[in-house]
Structure 1
């Protein structure tokens, strides 16, 4: 059994969409350091619309967060897309690519800036996102309604955010194919670990996302 953060970003900022920057190697090393401090066994690097990987002394599963026509889909596994165009693909097209290339497709933050939960796509799991603990109960209900397992991902852009949501994975190894197979088989459990700093950051995220009219569910206190 392994503890893995399935949704992280190797840069602190947006911009330069769809391609790596000189900061990515630094960012990924810092994320790995944060993951080790949190007691995680690995993480997935899932940047917006481009894949980036490197040796950082911690198992790193290849991945990408695809900005589809209806919301974000996280793809992790053996061969995720190297680069995708902003809103260039439907959720179903991304899921089909994932399944054809040894990957799993995860419905990311389904109640923040996303209509993908209503898409006709055969997702493998639904994500409990570390930025929105107020959406946990709604996300659990959605997963039940869809008959899908839950996974956890912090959506970290900064090292202090890693591991606030993560996934327990029942697999023989952290090889990318083994991780994707475990997700697709439902051998996963979503976990959260919100400390005082995480809750403070969440309040800031909630205000920011609400101002952008990105929040699609009523908050539920946990």
Structure 2
């Protein structure tokens, strides 16, 4: 499978990662993604509590290097439109942006199929969200119907205690983990969880 953000974030085998939410009072919210086996930080997400800007999120590598900037453009266009739209940009060492994906959610009750849809810059690499993120029971599904990542409650992972601030994400082989957690960061914000203001 071709990487969406970068090949460094694609594993050759299925990977289980644990997400730990940060309270808003600690570092302004967001969450940390850890490797179950190595207990090391793989990614962190800063929400608007850290950034001070509503509708803006940053996905960082474990070492703190910025990978993705996700933002939502609001205003009159969004208020009148039938979709809310987020865009995810990769950041290079100079700080310039390159569009990687866009995510849209229904903004109107007039939309018959209100599934959240994700489009990438690669043709034929579109995805949708199946299930309900706040219940930690959802999946990212590709355009062929294949589940590429699954979000689940913590009680399903052995050896780790159950907590409302912990959940796990299973990422299928070859899938870009940075892309998956960029999408999860937006879902977290949309549903008013740890990344929102």
- Tell me the TM-score normalised to structure 1 length: 0.34
